[in-house]
Structure 1
Amino acid sequence: MLNFLQSELFQKVRKVLPAASFFGGFTWDSITLGKLVQTSDLAILLLYYLASLVFLILLAAEPGKFLNRSWSEAWQNRFTYAVQFCFGSLFSALVVCYFKSSASVGAFFLVILLAGFLVANEFLQKSYAMFGFTLALFHLLGTMYLNFLIPHLVNGLGFFWFFLSSLISFGICVGAWKISKKSAKVLVAPALISCLLGIAFLGNWIPPVPLVLKDQNACTEFQRDYSCKVDEVGTLKSLWIAAGFAPTITAAADGVTFVSSVFAPAKVEAQLEHRWYYLNPKTGNFELMSRISSERMRTHGSREEGFRIYTKKRNVPAGKWRVDTAVQNGAVIGTKTFYIQKSDGEVKKKVWKIN
């Protein structure tokens, strides 16, 4: 056994273990959390969060202060590896969860930031010995995690609950600081992070977790069973549309209907709206034409395929359109761009239905 551990093969395998662990963990989170977040998932993430807090506090030990001792290099390495593992698990899950709910450019910036920390985490093991640095990342993770957890507990979402998430996370950081007996300077970074995240939320740059867009489309001749008609296209154009390019909708006499489905956990209520934008050919910019919402567009219950909503516009001019599915006066959950054309002749259409 000792010979194997000292072998050249084992040393090569050992070098790739961190990368393999990283991609394996992220893939597992993508497969499991990518489908549906369960209560057990939230509980597991809570354990990671609490464990990272314990190891963070243990790393604060210092002669003459907390615990009045210093750890040996071996024990310090064990604690920093533990923090690295917990932080990596949290960042991995949060990237998946926030990515599923992001649709705006600002929201993607936050996801990219979290993904950047996820990758950087593989190289920060020694840096986690610095209490101030680790406390700052712990506060970022805590705010993002609690912002995901609290809506499941209170059945609602909005700025108040995000502010509460940030406040609780910062309060826990203050508690850890008091226990550590470190300088108050270590709280500057968490306080700054709280301010920046608050501004980002007010700017609708924080994805509206835990809401997730499941499906959306623009169509005509809408029926109450959530079926409607879309233009029939050939195989090549179907692949073109599937790749993300805007489809073309031939307007009907009753106008154009936009249908979308949004997943929300059981009992979480959110007022949704559709924002219709028209690309002004003179300015080349999308202009908001209307915001449409109603009481029937408030999520209720839990449906894995998503809560279905629809809005209709009549007498729509031909051209390029975009519809955002969003929280009322809040962040965008999903968006779709399409072309509307007029036709005097008969256009082949096929039935499309949202689940």
Structure 2
Amino acid sequence: MIKISRFRAFIRKHKKSAPVVFFVLGFTWDSLTLGSIDRLYDQIIICVYLLSLSLSLYLFNLVDDDKWKNTFLERYEDYFPLAIQFFIGGLCSAYVIFFSRSVSFTKTVSFFIILVVLLFANELLKKRISNKYLQFGTYFFVNFTFFTFFIPVLVNTMNTFIFLISGGLSLSSTLILVMFIYGKSPSTRKELNKTKLINLILIIYATINIFYFFNLIPPVPLAMEEGIVAHNIEKNNGTYKVTYQKSGLFSPFNNETRYNPGDSLFIFTSIFAPADLKKRVNHHWQWKNEQSGEWETSDKIEFQITGGRDGGYRGYTYKTNILEGKWKVDVTTNDDMILGRINFTVVYDSTATNKDLKQEVF
């Protein structure tokens, strides 16, 4: 009891910084323990976090109504906002882990920015985590993201219809929780404008959908783990020996690919998908016409992936008689959602030797 009292006193003394500390703890913990959305452990943890966040919101929002006065929960009231921050941090760290598996992280930056803004908006608001609009807005965001991961894994299917179903489930479950707390808590009814809150949730819902349909969010839970421009690929006994150009010191800023006219050029990709999930994907080869400034489609080659392999489903396409200049290969689903993009510039060079190449087995 003495230890609990001391901890409570410490929390009260540092109540301005404690929520952020608990958010960071949740983020760090999941970064160390979570790995793949199709693991049962990860699924259980995420479900527990979301349920615990829902319960914490309920408990915290009834504190001002003295609902827990003279109950065993009264002594824990100071910890309710910390629990909210911890579970938000835990959920969002899991989402960042799963999104970061994609090679084309630029496609998740916009979504990640929303995540960070919503998470740290409490530092910009006077009432911080006690602000109910911030609470429920953030809750809806992490709820929506949960369903976009969980439903495709559950039904072994992912497409636009499943995304819309996920959004509908998150919207309805959030509104049910909000209305339940609203009905139970006079202080919440006094502080909240119900119409304003519903409009906020609908704006977040519409924004996420706009980002999704404009390909600013990857089609989770798929993720492109490898994207390589190769000069040769040999498949043998379930492995792929990929021969590609050695990277220089400044390779992140130089995507030139030396090419001997008449040879073949390959695109090798490894795509993560949860076990039992099947999906058709495309390599969409495009060349930039410098005269018109337009990207022209050269080929769009489709193949099927099957989830379950930890290193991702491996596949490749190739072309011969490549034109010199700028190229990009979009790795897309069959409903045109972008998993990743491989940019490279073809430079004709018939003098290139094997010394300029390296091999790697996948």
CA–CA distance in structure 2, aligned partners of residues 128 and 57 of structure 1? 14
Could you tell me which residue of structure 1 aligns to residue 290 of structure 2? 281
Match for 1:230 among 244, 252, 258?
244
Does the residue aligned with 2:271 lie in a helix, a strand or coil? strand
Could you tell me which residue of structure 1 aligns to residue 186 of structure 2? none
Aligned residues of 1:88 and 1:121 also touching (Cα < 8 A) = no
Does the residue aligned with 1:304 lie in a helix, a strand or coil? coil
Does the residue aligned with 1:262 lie in a helix, a strand or coil? strand
Aligned residues of 2:259 and 2:350 also touching (Cα < 8 A) = no
Could you tell me which residue of structure 1 aligns to residue 335 of structure 2? 329
- Change over 3 Å in CA distance of 1:28–1:330 after alignment to 2: farther
Aligned residues of 2:63 and 2:77 also touching (Cα < 8 A) = no
Matches within 5 A, 1:70-219: 76-101=77-102, 103=104, 105=106, 107-120=108-121, 126-179=127-180, 180-181=182-183, 182=189, 184-185=194-195, 186-219=197-230
The unaligned stretches of length 5 or more in structure 2 are 184-188
- Change over 3 Å in CA distance of 1:61–1:32 after alignment to 2: closer
1:202 is displaced (CA, Å) by 1.3
Normalised to the residue count of structure 1, the TM-score between the two structures is: 0.81
Could you tell me which residue of structure 2 aligns to residue 54 of structure 1? 55
CA–CA distance in structure 2, aligned partners of residues 133 and 11 of structure 1? 21
- Change over 3 Å in CA distance of 1:308–1:249 after alignment to 2: farther
Cα deviation 1:306-350 (Å, max 9, x = unaligned): 111111122111122222222223332222222222234453353
CA–CA distance in structure 2, aligned partners of residues 145 and 322 of structure 1? 32
1:258 is displaced (CA, Å) by 0.8
Quote the RMSD (CA, aligned, Å). 3.5
- Change over 3 Å in CA distance of 1:102–1:260 after alignment to 2: closer
Normalised to the residue count of structure 2, the TM-score between the two structures is: 0.80
AA at the equivalent of 1:240: F
1:261 is displaced (CA, Å) by 0.7
CA–CA distance in structure 2, aligned partners of residues 210 and 126 of structure 1? 35
1:303 is displaced (CA, Å) by 0.9
CA–CA distance in structure 1, aligned partners of residues 12 and 136 of structure 2? 33
- Change over 3 Å in CA distance of 1:184–1:121 after alignment to 2: closer
CA–CA distance in structure 2, aligned partners of residues 14 and 129 of structure 1? 12
- How many residues matched? 339
CA–CA distance in structure 1, aligned partners of residues 224 and 253 of structure 2? 16
The unaligned stretches of length 5 or more in structure 1 are none
